[in-house]
Every structure is written in C-alpha cells, then in structure tokens.
Amino acid sequence: MAMNGAGVDKLVNDNIEIYDKYEGESVNGLYTNESTDTAYLYCLAGKKILAVHNEKSTEYATGKIAVNALTVSAGRIYLSDSKSVYTIQQTKQQATLLYRDTLETAFGNIFIDPYHNLVLCGSAHLTVLTGGLPVCRYPINYYIDQIGFDNKNRLWAASRGGDLFVLKIDPGKRGKYLELLKKYGSPYPGLSARSLTVDHFNNLWIGTRHEGLYRFEFTDDLSIRSFQHYTIKEGMSDNFITHLTCDNENNIWASTPSGVDKISYVNNKRMRIENTTRSNYIYEQTLKTFVTKKGVAWSYTSDGNL
C-alpha cells in the first residue's frame, strides 16, 4: 500500500497502520521517545499538536507558530520556528515564548540533554538553554542536523561539513557547560552527516547525505577502534539517511527518502537490516522516525510538499 501526500506511519513490530491524515489533519512534525507511550503530532493546517496516547488525543494550540522542530520533557512541549523557542505546559494547552535567538541566522532541531536542558543546533553554535536563558554557546564550523548522548552523558555531534567531535557536559559550569573532549576532524571523505544516534553499547551511528550509514566503535580513550559502513549494497533502502533513532531494544531505525530501515544486532556483533516499509510495499520519503517505550515506531512522511 502506498501513501499519497503527507501522513504518518505507525509501525508495531511487523504490523503497519497508515494514516493519510490523522483525525482529519496532515502531519507535519512528530516526536516521541523510549521513555513514554505518547506521540506528539504537529499539524500545520490545524495549528495544533495532537498528543496521542492509547488511541486518544489531547489537542494543544500552536497559533501562528510555523513549527520546524519539537521535543518534550518533564511535562512540557518545546517548539521552534528556527528563530524562537516556545513552550506549552500540558496543563495550559497554549504556547508561550520561551527564548528568541538574535545571534544565529537560524537554528534547526532542538534536543533535551541528560540534565533536562535544551540544546539548539544552529548554523554557528550549539546553544544550551537553562530555564529559557542561554548558558553556553559552543562554536561550530558547519550546520549540525542531529546530536546524540551516550550512557556517560557525553554529547556527540557530526556536521554537514564532515566534522566529528564529542563534548563533555558539565552543568556546574555555565560558560563552559560544553567542553571539547576529542575532535576527529573529517575522518572519512563521505562523512557529510545528516543524522546521528548512539546505541546502548556507546557505538556511534552516523547517517550521511550520499554515502549511507556508518557505525563507529571507540576505545576507552575515545580513539576510533573500528567502523562499519552500510549502503544499498549491504541492504539499506537508500544512501541518504535523514534521521536515526535507537530504541529500548538497541535497534537502530533509519529514515530515508525510500522508507524506513530497522538495523538490529545479532548476537551483539552481526547486523541485520530490515527494509520495514519497502517490504510492505510502502514507498515514501520518510523524514523522521521515533519509537515509544512499548516499541511502537511512529514515522512521518512527505512527497515533497511539506
């Protein structure tokens, strides 16, 4: 079955439910994570977010905010429109301005770090917000689409320009909240990152624009021990990886212009690649996939009109 236009795929193991529209609305943004079973769907035309839990939804008004990213933490929904961050307290159901950035040309995705602070990925800085105030601006050379955190609370980042680095997070130092631990430069020519995640073994996964997916293993001193490279030759649906997610079972979900792939460890060593959507005859440009606590994977897609 193929989808037409914007929509959302809800994947439960091998079962797929397809919504061209959810409750009459096209879905233009999405967030959930492995600590919750609620999915948050952004509907541009309806100017709202639907919080979906057990097939029931709660509506939150976004007003005139053109949301390009959202995340959720500690009972708050955070939205951005590339210049400002807004928040919705789930008891009030209406967005209010939290922070407006006057230094960045624009920022893209927003993330919650292990200390429940916001990290904004901008064109020139990683900006950390605590209580709505910037406490750190870490300079970067190129745009970063996605960052990740390992089980030692370190921040990993890879840029579109090929830079790869890892940062220490120190919430006790406001000006030096982020400090460089190691910079790898451009270790591989094809490493123009568009996505990144860290698995439960602290292995780093990087999705690229043209060269597929990389998995890096590191020594205790953060040197690269080894790497693996996965492309369409190894079974990936596409060599452009738009987004990466690691779920509670340590599976990696890769979103691509040709659909969703699930990459699983076999005996903690070998990797198995499943073309989750393509094997169900779904051929759609998948922008992001997130997985809930119970292992329900939500993907939102586009045919180029989003």
Assess if residue 1 is contained within a domain.
no
Assess if residue 120 is contained within a domain.
yes
Assess if residue 131 is contained within a domain.
yes
Q: Are 62 and 68 a contacting pair, CB within 8 Å?
A: no
Assess if residue 25 is contained within a domain.
yes
Domain hosting residue 293, numbered range: 7-302
Q: What is the pLDDT of residues 274-300, one digit of tens each?
A: 998 888 777 788 999 999 999 999 999
DSSP state of 305: -
| 167-195 burial code (b ≥16 CB/10 A, e <16) | bbbebeeeeebbeeeeebeeebeebbbbb
Average pLDDT over residues 92-111: 90
The count of structural domains within the chain is 1
Phi, psi of 34 (to 5 degrees): -75, 0
HSE-up of residue 218 (Cα within 13 Å, Cβ side) = 18
Q: What percent of the chain has pLDDT over 90?
A: 75
Average pLDDT over residues 124-144: 94
pLDDT given for residue 305 in this prediction = 25
Q: What is the pLDDT of residues 45-64, one digit of tens each?
A: 999 999 999 989 999 999 99
pLDDT at residue 5 greater than cutoff 50: no
Per DSSP, the residues of 128-161 read EEETTEEEEEEE-SS----EEE-TT--EEEE-TT
Please enumerate in sequence order all residues whose Cβ is within 8 A of that of 288, keeping only pairs 6 or more positions apart, or say none. Answer: 30, 242, 243, 245, 255, 299, 300
- Using pLDDT thresholds of 50, 70 and 90, give the confidence band for residue 2: very low
Q: What is the mean pLDDT of the chain?
A: 89
**Count of CB atoms situated within 10 Å of the CB of 97:** 11
| Terminal alpha carbon distance of the chain | 21
pLDDT at residue 7 greater than cutoff 60: no
CATH number for the domain that contains residue 66: 2.130.10.10
Average pLDDT over residues 144-160: 97
pLDDT at residue 137 greater than cutoff 50: yes
CA distance 239 to 241: 6
CA distance 253 to 242: 11
Average pLDDT over residues 181-206: 90
3-state secondary structure of 117: coil
pLDDT at residue 14 greater than cutoff 70: no
Assess if residue 2 is contained within a domain.
no
Please enumerate in sequence order all residues whose Cβ is within 8 A of that of 16, keeping only pairs 6 or more positions apart, or say none. Answer: 9, 10, 276, 277, 280, 282
Q: Are 65 and 95 a contacting pair, CB within 8 Å?
A: yes
3-state secondary structure of 173: coil
pLDDT given for residue 134 in this prediction = 94
Of 205, 145, 155, 146, which Cα lies nearest the Cα of 183? 155
Tokens 């451009």 correspond to 186
Q: Which two tokens stand for residue 160?
A: 């579109």
